[in-house]
Chains A and B, each alone.
Chain A
């Protein structure tokens, strides 16, 4: 009887194909000699099969065509994309709004840094300042690409202006 209890306890694992290999000889050996456990196993197997049948769908109503059609207008993944796995799960609606509102700020800061770096590293510099009607040209750097840093009157805004060499005469 103690053996039977052990067998019953392992039935699911046995039917799952996950019973430890060293336990299988004992398990199957007992079944050969015990009618009650054999019947219990058959009944248990039957119940499990019924359960699966009860939970399975009658058909698979989604075709490959349906799925491909539902992707219209969505871009496929590209290896270069951002590494976040499911941003739609992580992001709150508020965070999403913030992201859109504040995006231009870091972008502008980034652009300024890049230009500043460019100025300090690559351009041969011959800078001079001059005033003009609408605002103040703070800095003008002559090189193959003329870069002008310009501040309109009574504002804190700074405009960085990159002109191709051929356009230099205009300024």
Chain B
């Protein structure tokens, strides 16, 4: 699967010699580590899986750097690898982790004790409130299809433009817009009781 020739340069702490490739790679890791983890976490909503995805992404980047040159911008290429690795993880996990949610988030669930309506927006930094709301947001999000999750994360968490998302996912900006529209509509619908609870 991957070349494992130990005679070739590999990153070794404490050894005086680090090859130029490794040094270059280290700069890439420093620059993209947070973005890769955040994107992976955003898509799978699970810290352990996001950690594994991050390691796998950089292993791919490290061993495939030669195939990258000149194909796309480095960030597009790394986002693309991240997205594909995360989608693979979702598919792998599907039967046990990411399914089995109830069809609706009920108004009762959304009514986090002690907070209602305007009070929630008035104190959005209360820890309990944040924890509860967060669970509901995550639950709603993980009901979206992988493609919709990915598009929403690249736009809202990573702040990519429609054009950059289209390049990353190798689709048209029209597709990006329609996926965003659908994903947001669905999130809004699922979370409507959270934002506007019954009086």
Contact = CB atoms under 8 A, between A and B. Distances in A.
Contact of B133 (A50, A57, A68): A50
Contacts of A69: 11, 13
B2 interface: yes
Interface string A57-80: 100111111111111111111111
Nearest to A55: B42
A145 to B, nearest CB: 30
A87 B26 CA distance: 24
Interface string B99-141: 0000000000000000000000100100000100110111001
A51 B59 CA distance: 31
A83 B59 CA distance: 17
A157 B53 CA distance: 50
B47 A74 contact: no
Given A67-B29, A73-B4, A77-B64, A60 B37 contact: yes
B178 interface: no
A67 B61 CA distance: 11
Q: Range of interface residues on chain B? A: 35 or more
Q: Range of interface residues on chain A? A: 35 or more
Contact of A76 (B21, B121, B155): B21
A88 interface: yes
A69 B30 CA distance: 14
A68 B22 CA distance: 9
Interface of A: 12-13, 16-18, 43, 46-48, 50-57, 60-81, 83-89
Interface of B: 1-6, 8-13, 19, 21-22, 25-26, 29-30, 33-34, 37-38, 41-42, 45, 47, 50-51, 54-55, 58-60, 62-69, 84, 121, 124, 130, 133-134, 136-138, 141, 153, 155-157, 161-162, 177, 180-181, 184, 187-188, 191, 195
